[in-house]
Structure 1
Amino acid sequence: MKQSSSVEELAAQLRNELNRYSPGGKLPSSRALVERFRVSPVTVSRALAQLAAEGLVVTRPGAGAFRARPRTPLTRTGDTSWQEVALSADGAADLVPRTVDASGVTICLAAPPPGVIEFNGGYPHPSLQPEKAMAAALSRAGRRPGAWGRPPLDGLPELREWFARGIGDTVTAADVLISAGGQSALTTALRALAPPGAPVLVESPTYPGMLAIARAAGLRPVPVPVDADGVRPALLADAFRATGARVFVCQPLFQNPTGAVLSADRRPDVLRIAREAGAFVVEDDFVRRLAHDDAGPLPRPLAADDPDGVVVHVSSLTKATSPSLRVGALAARGPVLERLRAIQVVDTFFVPRPLQEAALELVGSPAWARHLRRLSGELRARRAAMTAGLALRLPGLALPHIPVGGYHLWLRLPEGADETRLHTAALRAGVAFTPGRPYFSAEPPAAHLRLSFAAVAGTEEIAEGLRRLRTACDEVFGGPGAAETVRQAPAGL
């Protein structure tokens, strides 16, 4: 059993037994708990720390653990109705009102209720994370001289160099800033490149977290359609001309949510069109390390073929490791780099040095290459299991593109389908997916859903999740077999 599971179980048992002790009463010693529950002293210590954090026990060094005395609840209820006026007036003078709406992001971040299969997850399941390698890296990092001191504002030079090498030989460590993950880097980039009220071109569909960043900054997302070969250059040029935008945000590799890869013939067109418009391209290279083992050679980042400083490149370690290893990078050339640096310093000062040191230890260890190889094979197996299961159980859902990288599939629902109703029915059936609507900055062409195959425990859970999704489809589309026979819309991204 994993230690984290043992800690949870011991904490639950102790929590249930607290009523045996009067408030202020002493609990058994750590040694007694070790012998009684046959767990390690570390497990006992962590379980007691968890109960202390919950306010249920109080630990006193040298004395032991005691049941906490009940706190008197605050009974006075204030009047917060004034905040409605203050918050609504905040953006009254803005050309484009700032909207802080995290709903499209939290649907991917929030864990579903117990027993619900997580097809909506945006991060690898713990079984796919390099937990032992990360723990060892963090332990080694903590012993490095100066590991708990103040890091350079731009990030550790060795880590900046590592990210630069991953982008291409045209990028140096001097072009790189270490960020607190990809979301933070995107926030910095949009704040640096576009003033409030400005239009920003985005792929359609696109990552809801980026749309949330843009709207929170008072920017106006303008959609540019994506097909199986990525963004369509002619429509991108039209959008630049029509809006006067100076920023285009894209994911050229395994785009979220479609999984599309920007084709070789479109790559130079995108850079040329942006350069002619006097605009920046923000390249969100978020899953380069999640290519499947049948992907073949990957195209270089756009930033590697950009001598003129058009591209602001964003990458991160998070997707390939853990949601809590929030270490990423911004890369840019020219005067914009100083603006990016200034905004990042004002917002966050710097990324904590122990986290940077741990990331450097991890990517420099032999375990890193082994982890990436294992992850690549596991993702391909899960993708194959999900696509085969969809063909068997839900052939009425259109799967226009099967990606060879990333962690999800993008499906188009039958014509006229209500994705909100299906989402509710799926939760009742015990499976969670991500509705398609939050991925569109304007009216969507059809109803969609996104299914993640990385956040579940394995292929058996994928099969069970699809069985439950079939139950929900039968409920919404009108009984057994209805999802197979309902009339299909054209299969497009």
Structure 2
Amino acid sequence: MHESSSVTELANRLRQELDRYSPGGKLPSSRTLVERFRVSPVTVSRALGQLAAEGLVITRPGAGAFRAHPRAAAAPAGDTSWQEVALSAEGAADLVPRTVDASGVTVSLAAPPPGVLELSGGYLHPSLQPERAMAAALARAGRRPGAWGRPPMEGLPELREWFARSIGGTVGAAEVLVSAGGQVALATALRALAPPGAPVLVESPTYPGMLAIARAAGLRPVPVPVDPDGVRPDLLADAFRATGARVFVCQPLFQNPTGAVLAPARRVEVLRIAREAGAFVVEDDFVRRLVHADAGPLPRPLAAEDIENADGVVVHVGSLTKATSPSFRVCALAARGPALERLRAIQVVDTFFVPRPLQEAALELVGSPAWPRHLRTVSAELKTRRDAMTTALRLHLPELALSHVPSGGYHLWLRLPDGTDDTALTGAALRAGVAITPGRPYFSAEPPAAHIRLSFAAVAGTGEIAEGVRRLRAACDEVL
């Protein structure tokens, strides 16, 4: 059994047995738990730590673990109603008041309740993560001379060079900043390129986390529809003319949530339209390393198009996180000209720098023989899982329309029958024991139809995919 799943299972077992002990009563020793449940001492320690964080047990070094006493009733809360006035007043004079809403993001970050299958996750299941390779890389990195010192604010030169080669074209290391994950890089880009109150063009549908970033910065997301070939250039040109926007955020490769790849002819048009509008294209290249085994040659990043990027139209964001672990937050932010200097200044103000040990570990990981092996393994497994999910959906849920089967990424985008409430279906699915993602948060304006997004990367394997679809069938029978 995988370590993280062992911890969860042991914590659940111990939680169920707590009633056997009176408050303050001592639990069996760690050695006893190791022998009884046939797990490692680390698993026992982490499971007890999880229960301690929940306030169910108290651990005392050298003495053991004890059942916690029932919590006393909480003291009456102070009057915080004044905060509503203060927080709402801060944007009273803004053209577009800031809206800080993380609800669309937490769906893919929050762990589902015990026993619920996770078809909503945005990251690889632990069994697909290169945990051993990352641990080895971090151990080697920690022994490097100067590994715990202060890194250059822009990032380690060797890591910037590796990211530049990954992007390709004429992008050089001097045009790359190392950032703390894609979410931070996108936030930095939007703050650098658009003043508060400005419109920003976004794909429709698009990643809810990006919409949250824009609204938190006081920007106004303006949707531009996407079809199976990516954003529609004619509507993009219309949106630039109508709004005067100077930024367009897009995911040209395996777009979230549709899985679309921007067609070759459209790539040229998008860059031409942006240049004529005097605007930036922020390229979120978030899953390039999660290509499926049956995919053909991938298009280069937009930032690699030499002639188009010569004048700095494209600001590129490319992360290692999706292909490794949610905690491996290392990302490239690439640009040219004054935009690069502004990005650098905002990043320094916000975060100073990415911790050097993590940058050193990234260098160790991508330079090791384990890295290409990991990518090949994930590529094959994602194809297998995608095929298992599409087969199960077509067999058991034919009423859910799947218009596009992607050759990369980790999810499918399904249209629900007309009149279906995606929120109601999400709730019914949770009651049936499967977590799914409603489509509404992916639209910055009124959605044209109800959708859901299903992930095939966050579960343990094809068996859980089949069972998840079976449970979703029960939820659909309740709602549809």
Report the TM-score when normalising by structure 1: 0.90
Q: Cα gap change, 1:39/1:288 in structure 2, threshold over 3 Å: closer, same or farther?
A: closer
How many residues are aligned here?
A: 474
Q: Cα gap change, 1:165/1:417 in structure 2, threshold over 3 Å: closer, same or farther?
A: same
Residue type of the partner of 1:431? V
In the alignment, structure 1 residue 103 sits paired with structure 2 residue 106: no
CA contact (8 A) 1:52 1:59 kept: no
Q: Cα gap change, 1:47/1:232 in structure 2, threshold over 3 Å: closer, same or farther?
A: closer
1:14-413 mapped onto 2 (5 Å cutoff): 40=40, 42-43=42-43, 46=46, 56-60=57-61, 63-65=62-64, 67=66, 75-305=75-305, 306-413=309-416
Stretch deviating more after TM superposition (27-36 or 377-386)? 27-36
Cα distance, 1:57 vs. partner? 3.6
Alpha-carbon distance in 2 for matches of 1:358, 1:117: 32
Alpha-carbon distance in 1 for matches of 2:131, 2:214: 34
Stretch deviating more after TM superposition (411-420 or 397-406)? 411-420
Alpha-carbon distance in 1 for matches of 2:19, 2:143: 38
CA contact (8 A) 1:34 1:40 kept: yes
1:439-450 mapped onto 2 (5 Å cutoff): 439-450=442-453
Alpha-carbon distance in 1 for matches of 2:291, 2:185: 22
Q: Please, which of 383, 405, 428 is the counterpart of residue 425 of structure 1?
A: 428
Stretch deviating more after TM superposition (63-72 or 458-467)? 63-72
The Cα offsets for residues 208-245 of structure 1, whole Å up to 9 and x where unpaired, read as 10000000100000011111111111111111111000
Residue type of the partner of 1:324? S
CA contact (8 A) 1:104 1:438 kept: yes
CA contact (8 A) 2:178 2:333 kept: yes
Structure 2: gaps spanning 5 or more residues: none
Alpha-carbon distance in 1 for matches of 2:8, 2:436: 27
Cα distance, 1:396 vs. partner? 1.3
In the alignment, structure 1 residue 474 sits paired with structure 2 residue 477: yes
The Cα offsets for residues 314-371 of structure 1, whole Å up to 9 and x where unpaired, read as 0101111111111111000111111001101111111111111111111111111001
Alpha-carbon distance in 1 for matches of 2:40, 2:116: 31
Stretch deviating more after TM superposition (291-300 or 393-402)? 393-402
CA contact (8 A) 1:422 1:472 kept: yes
Aligned-partner SS, 1:399: coil
Alpha-carbon distance in 2 for matches of 1:30, 1:295: 48
Residue type of the partner of 1:325? F
Q: Cα gap change, 1:199/1:36 in structure 2, threshold over 3 Å: closer, same or farther?
A: closer
Cα distance, 1:8 vs. partner? 5.3
The Cα offsets for residues 53-84 of structure 1, whole Å up to 9 and x where unpaired, read as 66744545xx5547598687762431111112
Tell me which residue corresponds to 1:481: none
Alpha-carbon distance in 2 for matches of 1:73, 1:427: 31
Alpha-carbon distance in 2 for matches of 1:458, 1:260: 24
CA contact (8 A) 2:4 2:126 kept: no
Alpha-carbon distance in 2 for matches of 1:282, 1:146: 34
CA contact (8 A) 2:161 2:172 kept: yes
CA contact (8 A) 1:283 1:311 kept: yes
Q: Cα gap change, 1:19/1:150 in structure 2, threshold over 3 Å: closer, same or farther?
A: farther
Residue type of the partner of 1:361? E
Cα distance, 1:13 vs. partner? 7.0
Alpha-carbon distance in 1 for matches of 2:72, 2:430: 38
CA contact (8 A) 1:18 1:67 kept: no
In the alignment, structure 1 residue 414 sits paired with structure 2 residue 417: yes
Cα distance, 1:32 vs. partner? 7.2
CA contact (8 A) 1:123 1:323 kept: yes
Q: Cα gap change, 1:398/1:80 in structure 2, threshold over 3 Å: closer, same or farther?
A: same
Alpha-carbon distance in 1 for matches of 2:415, 2:36: 55
Alpha-carbon distance in 2 for matches of 1:155, 1:332: 14
- The alignment's C-alpha RMSD in Å is 2.4
CA contact (8 A) 1:26 1:64 kept: no
1:8-19 mapped onto 2 (5 Å cutoff): none
Alpha-carbon distance in 2 for matches of 1:35, 1:414: 52
Runs of at least 4 residues off by over 3 Å: 1-23, 25-60, 63-74
Stretch deviating more after TM superposition (285-294 or 356-365)? 356-365
Residue type of the partner of 2:169? D
Aligned-partner SS, 1:77: coil
Alpha-carbon distance in 2 for matches of 1:378, 1:392: 21
Cα distance, 1:169 vs. partner? 3.5
Alpha-carbon distance in 1 for matches of 2:251, 2:343: 20
The Cα offsets for residues 243-262 of structure 1, whole Å up to 9 and x where unpaired, read as 00000000000001111101
Alpha-carbon distance in 1 for matches of 2:440, 2:103: 11
Residue type of the partner of 1:276? E
Stretch deviating more after TM superposition (249-258 or 34-43)? 34-43
Alpha-carbon distance in 1 for matches of 2:385, 2:278: 42
Aligned-partner SS, 1:427: helix
Identity between Structure 1 and Structure 2 (%) = 80
Alpha-carbon distance in 2 for matches of 1:415, 1:50: 43
In the alignment, structure 1 residue 436 sits paired with structure 2 residue 439: yes
Aligned-partner SS, 1:318: coil
Residue type of the partner of 1:427? L
Alpha-carbon distance in 1 for matches of 2:253, 2:373: 22
Residue type of the partner of 1:376? S
Q: Cα gap change, 1:18/1:146 in structure 2, threshold over 3 Å: closer, same or farther?
A: farther
Q: Cα gap change, 1:64/1:189 in structure 2, threshold over 3 Å: closer, same or farther?
A: same
Aligned-partner SS, 1:410: strand
